Amino acid sequence: MDALPDRKPASTHPVGAALARAAARLATLAPARIVGEPDLADPRNLIDDLYALCAIVDPVIAAIGDYAESHFGRLDTALFADQVRGALEGNATFEIEAAARKLVASRADADAEYRREMRSAP
């Protein structure tokens, strides 16, 4: 029986490796859960979830930039860094915080109105 030729394992595609790491991290990500009435910790927890996703996806985008640079020559790899985080920070994160502040303020207004009504009740 002829021996099989020695074969080196195919090197892992750098973007494929980044995707594999991202998939493993996504599989273990436990998103924040809001139970009962939302409080001021809840928007922070949701924003932390967004940042966790950025930390998972942004390295994949950076790996694509590095891979492109290795084949096409010098690229501005800064354009591939923290792209998801940059898109969400101040946009989606601000929207969550603003909505939470609005809800808390409306609750405070409702509580104050209730107290006024109770004080003026006969």
- Counting as low any pLDDT under 50, the low residues of the chain are 8
pLDDT tens for 105-122 read: 888 777 777 677 677 766
Give which of 62, 58, 60 is closest to 88, Cα–Cα: 58
Instruction: For residues 55 and 21, give the distance between their C-alpha atoms in angstroms, rounded to a whole number.
Output: 11
What is residue 119's predicted lDDT score, i.e. its pLDDT?
Answer: 75
Query: Chain-centre distance of CA 14, in angstroms?
Result: 22
- How open is the CA angle 38-108-98, to the nearest 5 degrees? 55
What is residue 3's predicted lDDT score, i.e. its pLDDT?
Answer: 55
Instruction: For residues 46 and 104, give the distance between their C-alpha atoms in angstroms, rounded to a whole number.
Output: 16
Domain ranges of the chain: 39-120
Instruction: For residues 53 and 29, give the distance between their C-alpha atoms in angstroms, rounded to a whole number.
Output: 9
What is residue 102's predicted lDDT score, i.e. its pLDDT?
Answer: 92
At 34 the three-state DSSP class reads coil
The two tokens of residue 117 are 């009504």
What is residue 110's predicted lDDT score, i.e. its pLDDT?
Answer: 72
